[in-house]
Structure 1
Amino acid sequence: MPFLRPAPPPGTVPFTAIDRVAGDVAARARATPAACVILTVDGPAPALSDLCAHIADRIDHAPVLRYRPDVQRRRWVRTEPFDVGPQLRERELKPGADVQAAALDLPPFRAGRPLWDLTLLHGHAPGEYALCYRSHTMFQDGTAVVGTVEALFGRRRLPEPPPNPGRTGPRAVPLPPLRRPAHRRRTPWSLPARTPTGRFAMHAIELDTGRLLTVARAARTTVNQVCLASLTGALRAWTPPDRADHRAALPVQVPLNLWPPERSGALGHHLGLLRVDLPCGAPSPREHLRQVVDQTSERRTALHRALARALAPSMPYTLLRTVVAQCERAGVVGQFVTTLRVASGLTVDGAPVRAVAIAPAPVPLVRLAVAIVFYGPRVTAVASVDTALAGSAGGPERLGVLWHAALAELCALHS
């Protein structure tokens, strides 16, 4: 007779192995390890009381927001009754202040409360304000964060988190053999960037959608593949000594979404990882695009997604913790590039959201993280760089300038 786990108590959801490992990694972070979704809205900032009333009215669209961690019992616990007031903050910024920097500088989450908050930021620019939805890395992954924002300010309605957060998609069997990634003995950065500080600098980069579409149509690729290829050219120019060898590649981890379409409650983590070796050593932008397309093909992505769906539900915590530690020592988890699509038409009390950016969570494993967001006609990337790397490479602002230049060069070759 197969072993059956007892059902968890009502209103509770057990931690998954990924939740626990995410908590372990986050515990070593200097800054609050949380991803921030930044919504830019035109018009005067609402009163915090009005914003609180809006969130309270929409809380049934995102039941996940009621759940707080119970670390001792290793489970998420629904809070009843739930008051949204303590989750909301307001901060008036100085004129010209950087919103990403303000999001990175928010205070820690309140003890005993759910691991999210919503901050109203205003004063930085005339005629607009920003909302920052911040979610702890242990609480939600990127797709879950986006689903929650869409439920609060869009048309999505999330279900109650399931009591057994196991498989989130069909198991694909049999699984074909997959190439084992090469083992790196050091990080792909020169000294002093090899020793991370755990402190980060961030910069938002608005990519030229017209150029992205021009290349994608001419080369018959996806817009996301063009984003990765142009980022490759930017990274090549960003730290030239590290890319002198034409065979040099920069390994990045690309998260794979394993959630079903309804997001299944948007609690915890349901993702896999696809390793992509960005060919930063190659001088040709066409070669950058060719290799990116080859490594992110539908077939390869589907194989890795199937593997993750098959293994994730049964992956024991001790094994996953060991794998993460080995990857950290091998230098293969130091760079992440994630792409997220946000449903268009978000509004805040009737006012349309003009732009959406996502600031990656500052976690100690990561030296460079880039979050690319598609929202309506806009493509916005936020680069988060460990200050050791930023100091030696010129910072994320310079990376943004080089990314624009690399995209322009790629576009010129396909016009």
Structure 2
Amino acid sequence: MPAAVRTDHVRTDHVRPDTRRNGIEAVLDALARKAPRDSHLHNTHVLLLKGRAPTLALVRDHVRTRAPNVPALGCVARGGRWTTSSAFEAADHVHELVLDDRTGGHDLLASALLDGDLPVHAPRWGLWLVHGYADDEYALCYRSHHGFQDASASQSCIRGLFGAPAPDNDAPPMRPRLSPKAAARVTRDLAHAFLPTGRPPRLPAGGDGARAIARARVDLTRLHAVACAAGVSINDVHLALSAAAVHAWIRWANPDRRTLYACVPLDTRLRGKTETGVGNKLGMIRVPLHDGEEVTAESLTATATSAADTRAPEYRATARRMLELVPGPVGRWATHHLLRPAHTAMINSRVAYPRGLSFADTPVHDAFVVPSLFPGHLCFITLSSHGSNAHVAFVTDARRPALDRTIRHWQACLDALEAELGLRTPESPPAPHPHPTRPAPATTARPTPHGSDAQTSTATAHHPRAADPR
């Protein structure tokens, strides 16, 4: 390509301008202003690759070349619409983070990614080349603000940067329509969402806004086997395990037992409709967490039943249409109240990464997400998967004690559920426990022509978008 050709600009004729923002994004922007740090509303998608880390210049060249095919990367919010930034240069959004402990592994990596800066007046995303946490592996970490895009929209950008183009959506377009029966169920669920939830234990005074993460890796085939044996979905299994882990954690952290509710994503995307990679594509619906520190086949079935309606296509299409018909101020008010800690204690999400991601002919061999944390919420829980690998993560305020117990209990409940369903014998070895807590180490940055791209993580880490109802 001739040197005179600029490929890091996205022109306005490459993207449909004047895309309207929805009420969810305005509420998320407001939540970010209330959060102790703006990074509490960041989602970071971590792509792991084998081999020696490339140079920062090589990564920037790659992104500069791919950016014109991902017009959402150049979008900024102006008023109530998404428009294209005339000053957007993709290379300015690519940075490098060098860690100093090659024995730290993915615990160190996740901890270092809890905090970081994103531009305020430019498209709110960034890509970090991270290495120094392990031998013969590096990470490409795509971070974006939740008000800029949710996990669904992020996947579109990640595929555009590191994957093959998505296949054409040749299904006949599906128009959102109101089904009276589904509308009654959606209205009922929305009304129930304003009932108060149990409040998480109060945080100790002080604190610097640091977050903590507890995480573990699990074989996705184990979750799939449990789901098939119980006649439920993997998302149901994850939600039930998370509920038991949170109840056990609250008991250990606070003697008062509390009834808790979680928000899970409601997929309102329509068949045959091409979605852009900017904005929030998924709605939210609130579901109760079963009360108890154990997961049985019976409680797993109850968890699946509580979210069964949301999987029906007519429910999702009706919810989409109702969201479109609701006036903007009403939608923002409803979303704001739904996400208040008085109504929702946490978010529980599922992210599945596409196959075929690669950089410079090196395939991505695993991936996981470091999620956000909404102000006042007890935690944000995610299950991310790539191929046969899955990662579960709990993120909370660093002042909350004993976060590592959530992961240990989640794993213990999975072991017990497998035994109850006859999927393993009592003699089978239990899942490995997470690594012990370690302080997040200092990080170093390499100066670049675009300035210092260093981050310093101050939270702690432990080893290993609400559950997607599809």
- Verify same fold: TM over 0.5: yes
Report the equivalent of 1:162. Answer: none
Q: Deviations over 1:272-302 (max 9, x none)?
A: 2222211133755223202111112256654
Give the letter aligned to residue 88 of structure 1: V
The AA in structure 2 aligned to 1:147 is S
* Runs of 5+ unmatched residues, structure 1: 1-8, 160-166
SS at match of 1:294: helix
Which residue pairs with 1:5 in the alignment?
none
- d(CA) in 2 for partners of 1:79, 1:299: 37
Whole-Å separation in 2 of the counterparts to 1:197 and 1:364: 14
Corresponding residue for 2:430? none
Per the alignment, residue 63 of structure 2 pairs with 55
Could you say what secondary structure the match of 1:212 adopts? helix
Provide the TM-score with structure 2 as the length reference.
0.75
Aligned equivalent of 1:215? 226
1:40 to 38, 48, 60: 48
| 1:60 CA displacement | 2.7
Query: Where does residue 323 of structure 2 map in the other structure?
Result: 312
Shift in alpha-carbon separation, 1:219–1:65, aligned structure 2, 3 A: same
Aligned with 1:239: secondary structure? helix
Does structure 2 conserve the Cα–Cα contact (< 8 Å) formed by 1:184 and 1:330? no
Match of 1:344 in 2: 355
Residue 4 (structure 1) aligns with: none
Specify the alignment match of 2:94 in structure 1.
Answer: 88
CA contact (8 A) 1:198 1:364 kept: no
Aligned to 1:29: 35
Tell me how far 1:141 sits from its aligned partner.
1.2
Pair 1:113 & 2:119 matched: no
* 8 Å Cα contact 1:204-1:357 kept in structure 2: no
Q: Distance in 1 between matches of 2:149 and 2:410?
A: 29
- Aligned twin of 2:406: 399
- Contact map agreement 1:244 1:281 (CA 8 A) in 2: no
Distance across 1 between alignment mates of 2:175 and 2:394: 31
| CA deviation profile, 1:140-164 (whole Å, cap 9, x unmatched) | 01100112111211123599xxxxx
Q: TM-score, normalised by structure 1?
A: 0.85
Letter in 1 for 2:114: L
Superposed counterparts of 1:367-386, under 5 Å:
367-386=378-397
CA distance in 2: counterparts of 1:329 and 1:67, whole angstroms: 28
Give the whole-Å Cα distance in 1 for the aligned partners of 2:207 and 2:391: 26
2:368 to 343, 357, 362: 357
Q: Is the 8 A contact 2:193 2:343 kept in 1?
A: no
Q: Which residue of 2 aligns with 1:19?
A: 25
Provide the rounded CA distance (Å) in 2 between the counterparts of 1:168 and 1:348.
Answer: 35
* 3-state SS, counterpart of residue 333 of structure 1: coil
Q: 1:250 matched to which residue of 2?
A: 260
RMSD: 2.9
Q: 1:195 to 1:307 in 2, by over 3 A?
A: farther
CA distance in 2, matches of 1:146, 1:168: 22
Aligned length: 391
* 1:169-188 mapped onto 2 (5 Å cutoff): 170-174=176-180, 175-178=182-185, 179=188, 180-181=191-192, 183-185=194-196, 187-188=198-199
Provide the C-alpha distance between the structure 1 equivalents of 2:205 and 2:183, rounded to a whole number of angstroms: 35
CA contact 1:282–1:288 (8 Å) conserved in 2: no
Task: Report if aligned partners of 1:199, 1:362 keep a CA contact under 8 Å in 2.
Answer: no
What displacement does 1:200 show? 2.0
Partner of 1:204: 215
**Offset of 1:12 from its aligned partner?**
3.6
Tell whether the 8 Å contact from 1:39 to 1:353 is kept in structure 2 after alignment.
yes
Q: 3-state SS of the aligned residue for 1:23?
A: helix
Q: Please give the alpha-carbon distance, in whole angstroms, between the structure 1 residues aligned to 2:73 and 2:149.
A: 10
Q: 1:121 to 1:282 in 2, by over 3 A?
A: closer
What CA distance in whole angstroms lies between the structure 2 residues aligned with 1:399 and 1:252? 16
Asked if the contact 1:334–1:368 (Cα under 8 Å) also holds between the matched residues in 2, the reply is yes
Equivalent in 246, 256, 269 of residue 259 of structure 1: 269
For structure 2, the residue ranges without an aligned partner over 5 or more in a row are 1-14, 423-470
Asked if 1:138 corresponds to 2:144, the answer is no
CA distance in 1, matches of 2:197, 2:283: 24
> What's the counterpart of residue 239 of structure 2?
228
Change (3 A) 1:323 1:282: same
8 Å CA contact retained: 2:294, 2:413:
no
Alpha-carbon distance, 1:329 to partner: 5.1
1:364-398, Cα deviation, whole Å (9 max, x unpaired): 1532111211211112122111234x32xx11x22
SS at the partner of 2:236?
A: helix
Task: State the AA in 2 paired with 1:89.
Answer: H
Distance 1:195 1:325, change over 3 A: farther
AA paired with 1:173?
S
Query: What is the alpha-carbon distance in structure 2 between the residues aligned to residue 154 and residue 181 of structure 1?
Result: 41
- Contact preservation (8 Å) 1:45, 1:122: yes
CA distance in 2, matches of 1:334, 1:44: 42
**Percent identical across equivalent pairs?**
26
Match of 1:277 among 272, 280, 288: 288
Q: Distance in 1 between matches of 2:326 and 2:255?
A: 36
Q: Pick from 404, 415, 439 the counterpart of residue 408 of structure 1.
A: 415
Identify the residue that residue 85 of structure 2 maps to in structure 1: 79
> Take 1:286 and 1:194, find their aligned partners in 2: how far apart are those partners?
40
Deviations 1:184-231 (A, max 9, x none): 546343344899985421233212324213312222222222222222
Number of the residue aligned with 2:156: 147
Q: Determine the C-alpha separation between the residues in 1 that align with 2:314 and 2:256.
A: 33
